[in-house]
Amino acid sequence: MESAEPVHRALGRTQRVTAAMVASLAGVSTATVSLVANGKTQGRVSEDNISRVRQAIAELGYVVDGIGSSLAKGVSSIVILVAPDISNPFFAKVIAGVRESLGSEYQLLLSVTDAGEFPRAEDVRKLLALRPAGLLVDAPNAAFLEDLSVAGPLVLLDAPGLEAYAPSVNLDVAHGARELAAHLAASGHKRVAYVDSVTGTATFEVRRAAFLDEAHSCGISVADAHIISTTIDVGAAAAAFAAAWPDWQRAGVTAVVCGTDTHAYGVLQEARVAGVRIPEELAVAGFDDLPYSATSNPSLTSVHLPATPLGLKAGEQLRGLMEGRELDQPQLTLESSLVVRGSTGASALGVFGTAL
């Protein structure tokens, strides 16, 4: 093997090890380096050259540019997941499901926004320069999908009403919302407030509309003045509840429904500060059924949404499309269910609710 000094001097200047540097150090061609680095040496590279290349790779710390090589073939092994407001802990479980379903053959790239902001199609189109193998979009709205207008494998997650745009895996959030309204009605609540997300995605619109519709049918009043919106953040929800609670209390509100468990944690936090007894004076409920909801004080009544299965199924759908298979069920819907816990165990009227 030739002296490594010139190569090391070059490395000090560029800070990036190339196949050419490895080839120079090993005394072979860059094609030989590529064959060794990619495990394609059988019958094509001598054992001596394999040893020399591996030694040079180890000495220089060379890493194969998998993305670059795949781009040269016209498509990469990257899968892009577009998600609004990654601050919502619900997405961590969705991502875990996607990652599991894709396996080691694909690399997952997240395209996320700041809290309360929805992804812009313009930003996502810039990422398409990477020529991803597929695209997942979580909780989109129609305007975003129309503006994006992407070709290639695409699967939507938690996108109720948008099934015409692409194969999708949805959550039946409306069912859980109706169960929650019926539960509060059975517990004796007549005036309820609602804390929504400012994100403006279809899934939040559906859960709010379904709850309000069922609440009206059950004789529950949810006045416009009793509906507020914040980012999916404990502190923001706590501050919004603190500002609204005096008026809500005077109006006779005895329960607060939150668009996510994260919002509900903020309400519970501020209620404790204000000395509001949960659930005796105020019942609180959310959506998502995050792990902390079972252990919070009091434990939180929540609409269970299967986050990990959502990611798993969406990843499986996308993988089928990327591998050229026809989907047996392009549209899938996962069930939601109400989990009744201590935060709605008794209403302001002292009536205990029951699990549905």
User: pLDDT digit string (tens) for 299-324?
Assistant: 999 999 999 999 999 999 999 999 88
Bridge partners for 192 per DSSP: 255
Q: Confirm whether pTM is higher than 0.75.
A: no
Residue 169, pLDDT above cutoff 60: yes
Residue 15, pLDDT above cutoff 60: no
Taken as a whole, the chain contains a residue count of 356
- Rounded to 5 degrees, what are φ and ψ at 283? -90, 145
Give the model's confidence band at 12: pLDDT under 50 very low, under 70 low, under 90 confident, else very high: very low
Residue 353, pLDDT above cutoff 60: no
Average pLDDT (128-146) is: 86
pLDDT at res. 117: 66
Give the model's confidence band at 30: pLDDT under 50 very low, under 70 low, under 90 confident, else very high: confident
The CA-atom distances, in angstroms, between 199 and each of 229, 230, 280 are: 9, 9, 31
Q: Among 12-21, 68-77, 150-159, 304-313, which range has the highest average pLDDT?
A: 304-313
* Higher local confidence (pLDDT), 324 or 2: 324
pLDDT at res. 147: 85
Ranges assigned E (strand) in the chain: 78-83, 107-112, 134-138, 154-157, 168-171, 192-197, 227-230, 255-258, 283-288, 301-304, 331-334, 337-339
* Higher local confidence (pLDDT), 86 or 348: 86
d(CA 184, CA 210): 14
Which of 132-141, 146-155, 212-221, 303-312 comes out lowest in average pLDDT?
A: 146-155
d(CA 334, CA 311): 11
Beta strands 337-339 and 301-304 are antiparallel
Average pLDDT (107-133) is: 79
Considering the chain, what is the average pLDDT of its residues? 86
pLDDT at res. 139: 83
Residues 6+ apart with CB under 8 A from 331: 163, 167, 168, 170
Residue 176, pLDDT above cutoff 50: yes
If one counts every other C-beta atom within 10 angstroms of the C-beta of residue 292, the result is 13
pLDDT at res. 3: 47
